[in-house]
Structure 1
Amino acid sequence: MNRDEPVFIDVGGNPIAVRHRPGNMPGLVWLGGYRSDMSGTKAAALDAWAGERGLACTRHDYSGHGESGGVFIEGTISRWLSESLAVFRHFTTGRQILVGSSMGAWIALRMIEELHKAGEGARVCGLLLLAPAPDFTTELMEPKLTEEQRRALEEQGYIEEASEYSPEPNIYTRALFEDGRANRVLKGIIDTHCPVHILQGMVDPDVPYTHAMRLVEHLPADDVTLSLIRDGDHRLSRPQDIDLILRVTASLVDRCSG
Structure 2
Amino acid sequence: MTMANGNGVAADFITVGEGNDARRIAVALQPPAAGNTLAHFVWLGGYRSDMSGTKAIELAALAARLGTGCVRFDYSGHGISGGAFVDGTISRWLEESLAVIDHAASTLGSSRIVLVGSSMGGWIALRAVAELAGRSGIDIAGLVLIAPAPDFTSELIEPNLTETERAALAERGQFEEPTPYGPDPNIYTLKLIEDGRANRVLTGAIETGCPVHILQGMADPDVPYAHAVRLMEHLSGDDVVLTLIRDGDHRLSRPQDIAKILEAAETLARGT
- TM-score by structure 1 length? 0.96
Cα deviations by residue, 1:62-113 (Å, 9 ceiling, x for unpaired): 0000010110000000000000000000112321000000000000000000
Tell me the residue number matched to 1:99: 116
SS of the equivalent of 2:232 reads helix
| CA distance in 1 between partners of 2:254 and 2:10 (Å) | 26
Tell me the residue number matched to 1:165: 181
SS of the equivalent of 2:196 reads helix
Asked whether the 8 Å contact 1:98–1:108 carries over to 2, the reply is yes
| CA distance in 1 between partners of 2:165 and 2:257 (Å) | 35
| CA distance in 2 between partners of 1:121 and 1:40 (Å) | 29
| CA distance in 2 between partners of 1:119 and 1:46 (Å) | 26
SS of the equivalent of 2:116 reads strand
SS of the equivalent of 1:19 reads strand
Tell me the residue number matched to 1:178: 194
Aligned-pair CA distance for 1:222: 3.9
| 2:161 corresponds to 1:152 | no
Tell me the residue number matched to 1:14: 23
Asked whether the 8 Å contact 1:29–1:57 carries over to 2, the reply is yes
Aligned-pair CA distance for 1:165: 0.4
| CA distance in 1 between partners of 2:266 and 2:156 (Å) | 31
Asked whether the 8 Å contact 1:201–1:229 carries over to 2, the reply is yes
Could you tell which deviates more after superposition, 209-218 or 246-255?
246-255
Aligned-pair CA distance for 1:121: 8.4
Tell me the residue number matched to 1:142: 158
Aligned-pair CA distance for 1:198: 0.1
Task: Give the aligned residue type for 2:30.
Answer: R
Partner of residue 51 from structure 1, selected from 41, 59, 64: 64
| CA distance in 1 between partners of 2:181 and 2:130 (Å) | 31
| CA distance in 2 between partners of 1:90 and 1:121 (Å) | 12
Tell me the residue number matched to 1:233: 249
Asked whether the 8 Å contact 1:115–1:121 carries over to 2, the reply is no
SS of the equivalent of 1:194 reads coil
SS of the equivalent of 1:55 reads coil
User: Structure 1's 230 and 142: CA in aligned 2 closer, same or farther, altered over 3 A?
Assistant: same
| CA distance in 1 between partners of 2:127 and 2:137 (Å) | 11
Spell out the pairing of 1:69-108 with structure 2 (5 A cutoff).
69-92=82-105, 93-108=110-125
Could you tell which deviates more after superposition, 18-27 or 129-138?
18-27
| CA distance in 1 between partners of 2:214 and 2:83 (Å) | 31
Aligned length: 255
Task: Give the aligned residue type for 2:14.
Answer: I
Tell me the residue number matched to 2:147: 131
Tell me the residue number matched to 2:227: 211
Gaps of 5+ in 1: none
| 2:54 corresponds to 1:41 | yes
- TM-score by structure 2 length? 0.91
Tell me the residue number matched to 1:190: 206
